[in-house]
Structure formats: structure tokens, C-alpha cells
Amino acid sequence: MSFITENSQLKEKLQSFAKELNNTSIIAEMHQKMDDFLADKKNNELYERMKNCEENIVLKQNNGIELTQEDLDEYKEIHTWLNSSPQAEDFFSAQEALLNIQDEINAYVSLAIQMGEAPTDDELA
């Protein structure tokens, strides 16, 4: 059981924050770009292929297994297609933006907890 789960006041605040955060136009826009990309069956299949291909490459590298030409060709084929797709570019840009937002929120909340108050812009820099 986590501390947040056991503390209803903290849990309510976090749920409210999450709801408000996801109602912002920037977050909604990023989710829409990602949803638009994944709604297309071909995009979705290629994205899954890319993830599987990357997992396979990492697994082989971590286990000292030599990559085959087939592994490299498949990765290159998927990578080339994704680089030529404006929709894929939007998807990955949105994904990266959400990760950056998440990192900034984590830093802000961490600093606020440490300091006992909301940090200023200078303190975040």
C-alpha cells in the first residue's frame, strides 16, 4: 500500500491536479496528435513493429548476441518510413513534449515538497 493511497486528502489533491492538468489545451493537443497517429492502422502496426524491433536489438545487445543484417535492415526500414511521415513526426514530438512536461512537473513538485512551499522561477532554474 502506498502513502498516497493511504492518505485520502493527498490522493484527492493529486487526482484534482491530474484532472486539471489533462484538461489544459497543451496536454489535450499532445494527446490528440498521438491518438491521430495511432488511429491509423498502418501507423499503429509500424509503431508496434518499431517497439518490438528496438526491444529485440536491446535484448540482443544486453546479452552479447551479435545483431544480424536482418535486424539492422528491419530497423532501418521502419526508421526511414517514420522519418518520412509528418504524422509520425507529430506523434514523436508530442510524446517528447509530454515527457518534458512530466519532468518539469516532477522537478517542481519535488522542490515544493523539499522547501515546504511553491518554488519561484529563479529556484527552478
Query: Residue 1: what pLDDT?
Result: 63
The conformation of residue 94, written as its DSSP 8-state character, comes to: H
Contact 98, 35 (CB under 8 A): no
Query: Residue 49: what pLDDT?
Result: 92
Share of the chain above pLDDT 70, in %: 99
CA separation for the pair 19, 33 (Å, rounded): 19
Average pLDDT, the chain: 91
Domain ranges of the chain: 30-114
Averaged in consecutive runs of 10 residues, what is the pLDDT profile of the chain (125 residues)?
79 92 95 95 92 94 94 92 90 96 93 89 82
